[in-house]
Amino acid sequence: MRSLLYIVSALAVMGLAYWAYSENYKTQASLDRSQALQSEIGRMQEELAVLRAEWAYLNRPDRLRDLARMNYGKLELNVLEPGQFGRVDQVAYAEDEIPEVTGAIDVIGEIGQ
Amino acid sequence: MTRVPLRPLARILEAREKGENPDAIERENLRHRHDQIRDQSRLRSEGRLLVLAGFFLCAFVTVGARMATLSASEAQEPRAQASGASIATARADILDRQGRILATNLVTHALYAQPHQMVDPERAADELVRIFPDLKRERLIKDFTGTRKFLWIKKKISPEQKQAVFDIGEPGLLFGPREMRLYPNGKLAAHVLGGASFGREGVSAAEVIGVAGVEKQFDDFLRDPANGGAPLQLSLDLTIQDAIERVLYGGMKMMNAKGAAAILMDVHTGEVISVASLPDFDPNNRPRPLTVADKGKDQSDSPLFNRAVQGVYELGSTFKIFTAIQAMDLGLVNPNTVIDTGKPMKISGFRIGEFRNKNYGKISVSDIIVKSSNRGTGRMALQIGAERQQEFLKGLGLLDRTPFEIVEATGSTPLVPQKWGKLSSVTISYGHGISNSPMHLAAAYAAIANGGYAVTPTVLKRQHVERGPRVMSAASAAAARDMLRKVVTEGTASFGEVEGYLVGGKTGTADKPKPRGGYYDDKVINTFASMFPTDNPKYVLIVTLDEPVETSGTKPRRTAGWTAVPVAATIIERVAPLLGMKPRETRVEPLSTTGVTLTSN
C-alpha cells in the first residue's frame, strides 16, 4: 500500500514538473510575441504619424487653393459667399413617380394563427 | 531531568545527629536547583538569538545581493507588463478646433562625423559639399583632418539626403535619429504656434523644445509623457485663419501698410477663432530675432513681432465707446442726452480739439460716438472722474497684460500714464495716452457684445466657460451696440456694411509716436473694432493696419474709415459664411396676395 502511494506521488511530481516546464516555455513565447507586437505597434504608430503629417501637408490651404485654381475649368470652385445660403423650401422635391420595378422576387408565405 | 529532593531524608538525619541545622541543606539544594534553571534558560535564549540573527543575516544578504545584481546588470524594460500605449515619448501634436493638425512630429536623421574613423576625409568633404551646397569644403577638411573626434554636420536631413550620404561609403559619417517638429501648414498661424528647436542633443536622441508661442507656453504639457500623447487643441480654426490671413494680406498690400493684425473672437467664451499678424514667418524655419547688428531696425519690424499681442499702441477713438458706456452706467447721460461739443476745451493748458478742427456743435451722446467727437467724450470723462474711469478700464482688462496663453503676451503690458490726472482722463476717454494691444481691445469689445460680462481671451478650445463678472449693465451694453451699429450705417465706418450681417463697430485712427517723443504727421495706426451681427453678436473682429495710406483719391487718405474698415468688411463677408452664419433677410418680401380672407360674423 505504501509503495503504491510512493509511486503515485512520484508520478504526480514528475507530471507537475513537466507542466511547470511547459508553462514556462509558453510564458516566454507569449512574452516574446507581446514584445514583437509592441514594437510593431510602435512602428505602426510612427507610420501613422508620418501619414497624418503627410495628410495635413497635402491638405494645407495653400495647396488646396492652387488645386482649386488649376481645376477651375472642371470644378468651378469659388470661395463661400453669403448668397449661397438657401432655405429648405428652395430645395426641390424628388419626382413623385413610382420607381421602376427591377429584379422582383416572388415571396410566398403563410400567416400563422 | 531528575529532580533532586530539597530535603533528602538521609542527609537530614545525618545532620540532626551532628546537631547541624537541616535548613542549610534545603537552602543549598534550592540554590543548586536555581542555578540549573538559570543555565537552561540562558541556553534557550542564546539559541533564540542565534536563530534571529540567522534570519536577519539571510534578509540582509538577500537585499544586498538584489542590490548588487541590480547595479551590476544592464537595465531592462519590464517585459510582462509593458504598457506601451499609455506612455508616449514624442512631443504631443497641436490641433485646431476641428482636430486638424497644426504641428506634429516627423522622424528624420542628424548627420555627424567621427573624423578618426575616416578613410578618405578629402573625398568625404567633396561628396558632402556636392550633397549639401551650403557647406564649406575648406572648413570640412579642416575639421576632418584636425584633432576633433566628433562633430555635427547637419541637424536635420531628408531620407534622400541620408541615402546620398550613405552612398559615399565613408565609415566616419554616421546618422542619429531625430524627432523633428513639422508645421504642415507653413506660415499659417505662425505667431501663435511659435516654433521649436533642439535642446540637449545626444547621438541617439535630442530634446525638442518650444521657443515661442504656444509651443513654449505649453512646453511642459506637450513634453509630459504621462499625457499619453494627448494633443493640445487650440481654439483656432484653420480654414478661417487662412481666409483671414489672405484677406488681411491683400488689404495690407492694397492700403500700402507695413503691417497688419486681425483678431476674431467668440464673444461668449473668449475663444480666439483666428489671430493673424503680418508680416509673418515660417515656423519650420524660424528667422533669428533682430540683434544689435541690425542697426536702425526696430523689433516691431521683425516678422517675429506679433502685432496682435505685442503691438501695444494707442488705439484712438475705439476707446470712446467705453467712456460712453460708463457715463450711461453711472446714470450721467443716456443715448439722447445732448452735450455741447462746440465750446472750446482747455485742460491744464492743453487744447482738446476735434479731428481736422471740426466743430460738431450740440449733439447727443449717440452722435458723439457716430461722429467721433473728442470733446464730447472728454466732457463725459470729466464728469466720470479719473478714479472711476481707471476702475472701469481695469474691469475690462485694459490695464493689465492680456491673459492670452502665448509667451509673447508678457510683452503686452499696457502703457498707462504714471499720473492719471484730469488731462490723462480726458485724453484716455478718446484713446490717447493709453496704449493697448488689439487683443485687449477684442476682449473689451467682447464684453460689450455679450451683454456686459468680462471676457478672458484664450487660445485653447473650451467646452464650458464660466461667465466672467459683470462689468457694465445690460442696458448700457445694448445701447452701445446700437451706437456702434449707427457708426456703420451713418458714421465714420460706412464702408463696413456687409449686407445681411448687421456689422457694428468703431473706427480708431492714432498717430504713431516717434521713438524720441512727439508724434509723426504721416504715420498712423488704424483700427476698426467691430462685432456682428449687432442685434445678437456672436463674434468680435479687430483689424489693425500699421502705417496704411489709401491712394485712390487725389489726396492720400489715412483715416481708419478708408483703410481698416473696408478690409474688415471684406473679412466679415468672407468669414461669416465659413462660421455658418446665414445672412439676415434685410429686404422685406411682400406678402403673397392669396391667403387673406375677410370674414364677418
For the residues of B273-292, what is the DSSP string, one character each? Answer: EEEEEES---GGGPPPPP-T
C-alpha to C-alpha distance for B375 and B186, rounded to whole angstroms:
47
Interchain proximity B577–A81, CB inside 8 Å: yes
C-alpha to C-alpha distance for A24 and A30, rounded to whole angstroms:
10
Mutate to test the interface with B, among A26, A35, A60, A62 (most CBs of B within 10 A): A60
C-alpha to C-alpha distance for B241 and B274, rounded to whole angstroms:
5
User: B102, B234 in Cβ contact below 8 A?
Assistant: yes
User: B124, B227 in Cβ contact below 8 A?
Assistant: no
Chain B positions in Cβ-Cβ contact with residue A62 (cut-off 8 Å): 185-186
Number of C-beta neighbours around residue B27 at 10 A: 11
Chain B positions in Cβ-Cβ contact with residue A33 (cut-off 8 Å): none
Chain B positions in Cβ-Cβ contact with residue A42 (cut-off 8 Å): 84
Q: Does B583 touch chain A (CB under 8 A)?
A: yes
Give me B18's grid cell. 551532628
Q: Does A96 touch chain B (CB under 8 A)?
A: no
A73/chain B closest Cα distance in angstroms: 22
- Which residue of A lies nearest to B584 if distances are taken between CA atoms? A82
C-alpha to C-alpha distance for B205 and B208, rounded to whole angstroms:
10
Interchain proximity A34–B82, CB inside 8 Å: yes
Distinct helix (H) and strand (E) counts, chain A: 3, 0
By DSSP bridging, strand B350-352 and strand B362-364 are unpaired
* Residue matched to cell numbers 500699421: B546
Residue B583, preceding peptide bond in cis (omega within 30° of 0): no
C-alpha to C-alpha distance for B473 and B505, rounded to whole angstroms:
19
DSSP state of B522: E
In 3D space, the residue among B285, B452, B432 whose CA is nearest the CA of residue B372 turns out to be B432
The predicted-structure confidence for B466-497, as pLDDT tens digits, reads as follows 888 999 999 999 999 999 999 999 888 889 88
- In DSSP notation, B24-41 reads HHHHHHHHHHHHHHHHHH
User: B212, B407 in Cβ contact below 8 A?
Assistant: yes
Interchain proximity A56–B243, CB inside 8 Å: no
Q: What is the per-residue pLDDT for B58?
A: 97
Positive or negative, the CA dihedral B6, B9, B14, B16 is positive
Strand partners of residue B345: B352
Positive or negative, the CA dihedral B46, B52, B54, B60 is negative
C-alpha to C-alpha distance for B144 and B150, rounded to whole angstroms:
9
Interchain proximity A56–B242, CB inside 8 Å: no
C-alpha to C-alpha distance for B267 and B269, rounded to whole angstroms:
6
Chain A positions in Cβ-Cβ contact with residue B573 (cut-off 8 Å): 81-82
C-alpha to C-alpha distance for B453 and B444, rounded to whole angstroms:
9
Q: What is the per-residue pLDDT for B294?
A: 65
Chain B positions in Cβ-Cβ contact with residue A84 (cut-off 8 Å): 577
User: Which residues of chain A from 25 to 84 reach within 8 Å of chain B, CB to CB?
Assistant: 31, 34-35, 38, 41-42, 46, 49-50, 52-53, 55-57, 59-62, 79-84
Q: Who's near B492: CB < 8 A, 6+ residues apart?
A: B370, B371, B372, B507, B559, B560, B561, B565
Coil, helix or strand for B581?
coil
ipTM of the complex: 0.71
Interchain proximity A49–B582, CB inside 8 Å: no
Number of C-beta neighbours around residue A89 at 10 A: 6
Give me B333's grid cell. 447721460
A-B CB pairs within 8 A amount to 67
User: B566, B495 in Cβ contact below 8 A?
Assistant: yes
CB-closest option in B84, B498, B582 to A42: B84
By DSSP bridging, strand B94-95 and strand B232-233 are parallel
In 3D space, the residue among B281, B330, B325, B324 whose CA is nearest the CA of residue B304 turns out to be B281
Q: Does B82 touch chain A (CB under 8 A)?
A: yes
Intra-chain end-to-end CA distance of chain B, in Å: 133
Coil, helix or strand for B325?
helix
* Residue matched to cell numbers 521713438: B515
Chain A positions in Cβ-Cβ contact with residue B243 (cut-off 8 Å): 79
Q: Who's near A55: CB < 8 A, 6+ residues apart?
A: B101
What pLDDT band is residue A113 in, cutting at 50, 70 and 90?
low
Measured in degrees and rounded to the nearest 5, phi and psi for residue B564 equal: -70, -35
Listed as ranges, residues in chain B with pLDDT below 70 are 1, 77-89, 292-297, 586-601
Give me B262's grid cell. 486681425
Interchain proximity A50–B186, CB inside 8 Å: no
Give me B374's grid cell. 473728442
CA dihedral in degrees (B276, B408, B279, B222; nearest 10)? Answer: -70
Q: What is the per-residue pLDDT for B596?
A: 47
B85/chain A closest Cα distance in angstroms: 8
Interchain proximity B576–A42, CB inside 8 Å: no
pTM: predicted TM-score of the whole model, two decimal places: 0.78
Residue B533, preceding peptide bond in cis (omega within 30° of 0): yes
C-alpha to C-alpha distance for B91 and B81, rounded to whole angstroms:
24
Q: What is the per-residue pLDDT for B590?
A: 47
User: A49, B179 in Cβ contact below 8 A?
Assistant: no
Per-residue CA distances from B601 to B383, B596, B598 (Å): 63, 16, 10
